[in-house]
Chains A and B, each alone.
Chain A
Amino acid sequence: MTMSAPTTQALPAIRLSNVCKSYGDYPVLKNIDASVARGEVVVICGPSGSGKSTLIRTINRLEEINSGSIVFNGQDIHAAMPPKQLNLLRSSIGFVFQSFNLFPHLSVVENVSMSPIRVKGVAPDVAYDKALKLLDRVGLAEKAKAYPAQLSGGQQQRVAIARALAMEPPVMLFDEPTSALDPEMVGEVLAVMKSLAAEGMTMLCVTHEMGFARDVADRIWFIDAGEILEAALPEEFFKAPRHPRAQRFLADLRH
């Protein structure tokens, strides 16, 4: 892990400019301006209801925005475009949900291989082999034939990560991936995420796991009331948060 914050690298992987979003009169995101460099791991934290989940969901357009732009690989994700192009864009941004959202009617290996086959047109046997390798990677090779219902929450979330990786995305987004898990299962999921980070995957994670943030993140975005109040290196953020609300947030966490 490098601690040099690569903010000034030539072409950021994701660039958010003046992103605004509101539900009716209620603003959820206010003028978000930020970027994620290639290979960077960003952890987004903040109190509940701060807009962090909404923010990460706008990046692959599961949520629409009212104004601003989100550019990924030189393409504005929120520009008007034919559905096919949006699907292609989405398939290159991996997304991991809090509630896993595995497909319950498919076996584990089918969950991982189905989208490469149906969306990218990969040959079934190739996709299948690839899926088995990915399952091995998240430590679930022996569960390939099982159905999601037969897995624990932690195992399901690891399958969900493998499923997202199967599309070979250059970027992975995690929306509170461990919040729905029993405490003893959090570790196995974080371990997979750590190994991904170590391999240089560009990652954006909304999480309450401050240990993970401290050890793995290159940068922390602290968000409250729809604004990024602080974007800092982890050691700065945890030792000496500048914004009073960040200070209070960290103080509350320690209790």
Chain B
Amino acid sequence: MITDMLNIISNYWLLLLVGQYPNGQLGGLANTLILSALSIALAFPISILFALARLSKWRLLRWPVTGLVYITRGVPLLMLVLWSYFLVPLLTGADVPSFVTMLTTLIVYQGAFLSEVVRGGIAALGPGQMEAAKALGHSYLGAMRFIILPQALYNMIPSIISTFVSTIKDTTIGYVINVPDLTFAASQVNNQLLTQPFQVFLILAVVYYAICWSLTQVANVIERRITRRRAGVTRGAATATLAPSKILSEQP
């Protein structure tokens, strides 16, 4: 069994790592990581806008985003991927690569999800910070920019990393629209071998595990550091500030 797995790795490591590249399109683990990193990098700024919209007093801003958040919370990602696969080419009129379709879906999905984390982070600061800012004459946006968001986003760093982990796991769903990622590469290997599916998918599981586990450890270390740095600020409240990230942690 172990020898089988080592053989598979020595024969197919390049395919698993970069797909058909440089002869064909980039795929494999490299594409999984690029897709996840791009998704989270673009979802992050969008999540802040979404969160501000949800906290806004204008219904016109609040309602559409609230609706979007509920849709992403209540509808399977797989269904949303199918929607994008159907709608993105229809709306853009272009033949869009499945990579872009998946990227679009993940940005909206994780953007909506992260916006809840931002909102939770702002709520966890309590009303005192906003009141103090107002009493000093700051405008709403000024208070957000200089006082509320710097704190909320700093506390959010572990959540962002765990959302990154979720995103890596979510990219596997691109399998249904043939996004050339690690899972896709593994199933290609499986189709060529035909006789060792268990070994192939076990390798796949181990690779995902190694990446996600390492990132989770990083998130934990940072979370402890932040908790320690904040300890004593408001005693007790410091742990409360970080609590929502755990409650909200999504599982794909």
Contact = CB atoms under 8 A, between A and B. Distances in A.
Direct A–B contact in complex, judged by CB atoms less than 8 Å apart: yes
Interface of A: 60, 62, 83-84, 87-95, 97, 99, 101-105, 114-115, 118-120, 147-150, 163-164, 167
A58 B140 CA distance: 18
Nearest to A91: B137
Given A105-B150, A105-B154, A149-B230, A99 B128 contact: yes
A97 B128 contact: yes
Given A97-B128, A99-B128, A118-B142, A104 B230 contact: yes
B132 interface: yes
Given A101-B132, A105-B150, A119 B137 contact: yes
Contact of B135 (A90, A103, A118): A90
A120 B137 CA distance: 9
Contacts of A119: 136-138, 142
Interface residues of B, number: 24
Contacts of B136: 90-91, 95, 115, 119, 163-164, 167
B131 interface: yes
Contacts, number: 73
Interface of B: 128-129, 131-140, 142, 146-147, 150-151, 154, 229-234
11 contacts: A87-B137, A90-B135, A97-B132, A97-B135, A101-B131, A105-B151, A119-B136, A148-B233, A163-B136, A164-B136, A167-B136
Contact of A62 (B134, B150, B154): B134
Contacts of B129: 101, 103
B139 to A, nearest CB: 5
B135 A62 contact: yes
A118 B135 CA distance: 14
Nearest to A61: B134
Given A60-B135, A91-B137, A120-B137, 5 more contacts: A92-B137, A97-B132, A103-B151, A105-B150, A118-B138
Given A97-B128, A119-B142, A104 B234 contact: yes
B232 A118 contact: no
B128 A101 contact: yes
A62 B232 CA distance: 27
A104 B232 CA distance: 10
Contact of A118 (B146, B154, B229): B146
Q: Closest 8 A-B residue pairs measured CB to CB?
A: A91-B137, A101-B132, A95-B135, A149-B233, A101-B128, A115-B136, A104-B233, A149-B232
